[in-house]
Amino acid sequence: MGKKLKGKDLIKLGFPQNNSVNIALSQISRYRKKETKQRNLDAAKLVLVNPEEYNGDPIWGKVAEALIQPVDVKLHQLKTERAPFSVFGEDEIDDEAKYQMYNALKLPISVAGALMPDAHSGYGLPIGGVLATENAVIPYGVGVDIGCRMALSIFPIKVSYLKGKKDQFKNILTEHTKFGMSETHKIKHDNAIFSRSEFSEIPLLRSLKDKAYKQLGTSGGGNHFVEFGTVRITDRDNEWGLPMGDYIGLLSHSGSRGLGANIAKQYTYLATKQCPLPKPVQHLAWLDLNTHDGQEYWLAMTLAGDYAKACHDDIHARISKVLGTKAVAKIENHHNFAWKQKVQGKECIVHRKGATPAAKGELGIIPGSMTAPGYIVRGLGNEDSLQSASHGAGRKFSRRACKQQFTQGAVKSELKKADVELIGGGVDEAPMAYKDISMVMDNQRELVEVVGEFIPKIVRMDY
């Protein structure tokens, strides 16, 4: 008997000649490659004899599922008609983003969809795309940066301090925020999230725990930021009982870092293997929530979202401590995630890839560019948008186009006009790269109402 376990060994053991053999080989290769061939055969035999006992097992559950309910993997065809949908700010959305949404609406699992006014093309769903599906989750419908979110802390500090003590505020961002792949905090903070059972029960997450611990309280590259600015509360009946007027705010934008990226990569791969689709929509492969992988992705996605929140909490706690004051209000929301939500009277999975939840009364933040205002909003619960709104201004130019068209000098000129100080950042995040946020907000007046504004003043991004 050779040292390497092969499919014929499992068939000889009694495995049926179907996909269960490939799944067993894959799981053994991924999670039990240090075990001897005989130990793996002995373990596989136990699963074969009593598969029901291994339902939900982190390693063998997928094999048990294939033995109990064999599935014939076949190419899924698109429907000829689209599921119902709505588009907000249609004239400002590029055609490619619309075509991506139209294709997504033809998936057999699609129930309804919507395009937000900041929409532009992406992988799988367009950025700004919202899609409701029936008992299925699309990893690329959630996005690579799972749980990417906004968080705003409002502090009871005089706005004049931002100008009078600008260097102090700049130093706070420089010294107490970390960005990109290599920067981490010297003093690590613990968090209850690391005691979550998913980190020990799901093999992939177990392998990512150390990295997640090191990256807690850090921000990604690209369009992620931490910035000081002025907050103007414009709603007399606001949820925090704050007097109308101006405050200093701290706004952060980031996601689940390497944890979320690796979860997205792994489960997108699994989805494409289990759910082959025509080439134009192959990035929209889904996982059935009744399957082992579907349930596991949902747990991993939820953990990544909670981890992203923990990162923002850590950022805001560090800076609040340096400021020597506590926030009088905090607003936060995901905009890359999937939720269970009633649509057309039945529970669906609503994917928001670059879209803000906007159920009736739900608070959120919609940022502009680094020189444009962002908005604190309250959802109006519009069913046509699947209770969603934009997640920002939306890109007008791609990163590549920005590098070709804009110079550092042009960026500096825009920053000077807006009286904004930038630490880090590149031309790919030039203010000119983004749509006019006032136009975007105008196109979603039926989706949200404005509670306040945030004006950026000192912006920190990755170098």
CB-CB contact of 379 with 362 (8 Å): yes
**Confidence bin at 123 (pLDDT 50/70/90):** confident
> How far apart are the C-alpha atoms of 274 and 286, rounded to whole Å?
8
Q: What is the CATH code for 149-253+297-325+363-460? A: 3.90.1860.10
Decide: residue 321, CB within 10 A, 0-12 exposed, 13-18 middle, 19+ buried: exposed
Residues 432-446 have a mean pLDDT of 97
**Distance spanning both ends of the chain, measured CA to CA:** 56
The DSSP code sequence of 244-260 is: SEEEEEEEEEE--HHHH
Distances (CA, A) of 304 to 39, 138, 261, 388: 34, 15, 9, 21
Radius of gyration of the CA atoms of the chain, in A: 24
Q: DSSP class of residue 64?
A: H
Tens digit of each residue's pLDDT (9 = 90 or more) over 63-117: 999 999 888 788 999 999 999 999 999 999 999 999 999 999 999 999 999 999 9
Residues 402-410 have a mean pLDDT of 95
Distances (CA, A) of 172 to 167, 168, 394, 460: 9, 6, 29, 10
Task: Give start-end residues of each CATH 3.90.1860.10 domain in the chain.
Answer: 149-253+297-325+363-460
> How far apart are the C-alpha atoms of 326 and 157, rounded to whole Å?
10
Do strands 110-120 and 85-87 pair parallel, antiparallel, or not at all (unpaired)? Answer: parallel
- Residue 2: predicted pLDDT: 60
**Confidence bin at 42 (pLDDT 50/70/90):** very high
- Residue 130: predicted pLDDT: 98
Instruction: Give every CB contact of residue 306 below 8 A, 6+ residues apart in sequence.
Output: 147, 193, 196
- Residue 316: predicted pLDDT: 98
The DSSP code sequence of 168-217 is: HHHHHHHHH--BTTT---SSPPP-GGGG-THHHHSHHHHHHHHHHHHHTT
Tens digit of each residue's pLDDT (9 = 90 or more) over 253-275: 999 999 999 999 999 999 999 99
> How far apart are the C-alpha atoms of 296 and 301, rounded to whole Å?
8
